[in-house]
């Protein structure tokens, strides 16, 4: 099953230098999750040939325009294209008021249902759970209410070892072995011991999206040991005081969270428009956390099983 992140937008506040405001698409198997929807998001989706009809869940971290100004246009396009499938939208409570006011004023009827889930928790809280994964929203420290999102696959079953599997196993026996159970005889004795005929389960993968936030250490605990961590990096570290005033993070602060959390890979984004060249930000972050990458437009990041 695929587990892939595509970066649609990486800039903060305004578009600049070919960079769009924040938006990302996470694909987990057949599920398409849109994370934030900055201005120009639907243009980017079209550019990268994303089948937007497969987007069933949209997560909006907060109500600063560079994270949701593209949402009304995208929803309107869904309606114009004749979408019928429902959509679940996760966001701050007032987002529903914004959408309702716009569509009422424009007399727009979308033609598909939207289920709105309000974000309100002051600590990590599971907001979505299905057979494959769970999604947790966690509050971050920004100028207004803001949340990050942790996507984590459920533990997977053990795998049948095709080299050792007996020929007389029934379907029920195979299911039992996959569920870490022994196959037993009618008298209760073990016929096939699970560990002898199965392999360990494949890795359960994880991705954490840390939206606009200033540095705070508890965040490292909440995203501990994820495979892929996106952390906003608006400024280089010489602007640390400005970052604190504006409730944003610097390169070294993002890298410090990644190091404390013991993540595998750090992605940095939400770059200030004062930086045309992003290589200095990358190099500075790498001085603290070497496995750091730029999350720039069109980049794909795949987490293998």
Distance CA 132, CA 129 (A): 8
- Residues 204, 49, 295, 67, CA torsion sign: negative
Q: What is the dihedral of CA 9, 10, 16, 20, to 10 degrees?
A: 10
Asked if 277 is an active-site residue, the reply is no
What kind and span of H or E run contains 41? helix 41-47
What kind and span of H or E run contains 4? strand 3-9
Query: Whose structure tokens read 């540095």?
Result: 215
Query: Which residues lie across from 136 on neighbouring strands?
Result: 126, 150
- Helical packing angle, 93-105 and 71-80, nearest 10°: 50
Query: Which residues lie across from 268 on neighbouring strands?
Result: 231, 294
Distance CA 6, CA 145 (A): 25
Distance CA 161, CA 128 (A): 33
Query: Whose structure tokens read 């993070």?
Result: 249
Q: What is the dihedral of CA 247, 152, 92, 265, to 10 degrees?
A: 20
Which of 66, 212, 227, 237 is flagged as catalytic? 66
- CA angle in degrees (0–180, nearest 5) for 245-250-252: 135
In 10 A of CB 128, how many CB atoms?
18
Instruction: Give the burial class of 85: count Cβ atoms within 10 A of its Cβ; 0-12 exposed, 13-18 middle, 19 or more buried.
Output: exposed
- Helical packing angle, 251-261 and 279-286, nearest 10°: 40
**Catalytic machinery residues:** 66
């Amino acid at each position: 099953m695929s587990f892939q992140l595509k970066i649609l937008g990486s800039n903060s506040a305004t578009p600049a230098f070919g960079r769009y405001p924040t938006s990302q698409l996470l694909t987990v198997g057949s599920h398409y999750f849109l994370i934030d929807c900055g201005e120009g998001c639907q243009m980017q989706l079209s550019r990268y040939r994303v089948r937007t009809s497969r987007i069933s869940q949209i997560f909006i971290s907060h109500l600063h325009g560079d994270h949701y100004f593209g949402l009304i246009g995208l929803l309107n396009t869904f309606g114009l294209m004749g979408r019928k499938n429902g959509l679940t939208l996760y966001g701050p409570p007032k987002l529903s008021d914004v959408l309702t006011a716009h569509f009422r004023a424009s007399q727009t009827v979308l033609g598909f249902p939207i289920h709105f889930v309000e974000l309100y928790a002051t600590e990590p809280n599971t907001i979505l759970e299905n057979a494959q994964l769970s999604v947790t929203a966690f509050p971050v420290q920004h100028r207004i209410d803001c949340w990050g999102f942790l996507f984590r696959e459920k533990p997977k079953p053990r795998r049948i070892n095709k080299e050792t599997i007996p020929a007389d196993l029934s379907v029920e026996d195979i299911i039992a072995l996959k569920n870490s159970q022994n196959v037993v005889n009618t008298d209760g004795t073990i016929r096939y011991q699970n560990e002898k005929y199965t392999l360990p389960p494949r890795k359960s993968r994880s991705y954490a999206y840390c939206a606009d936030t200033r540095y705070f250490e508890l965040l490292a605990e909440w995203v501990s040991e994820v495979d892929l961590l996106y952390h906003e990096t608006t400024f280089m570290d010489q602007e640390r005081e400005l970052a604190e005033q504006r409730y944003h993070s610097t390169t070294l602060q993002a890298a410090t969270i990644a190091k404390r959390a013991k993540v595998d890979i750090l992605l940095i984004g939400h770059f200030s428009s004062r930086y045309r060249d992003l290589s200095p930000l990358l190099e500075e972050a790498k001085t603290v956390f070497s496995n750091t990458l730029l999350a720039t437009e069109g980049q794909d990041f795949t987490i293998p099983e």
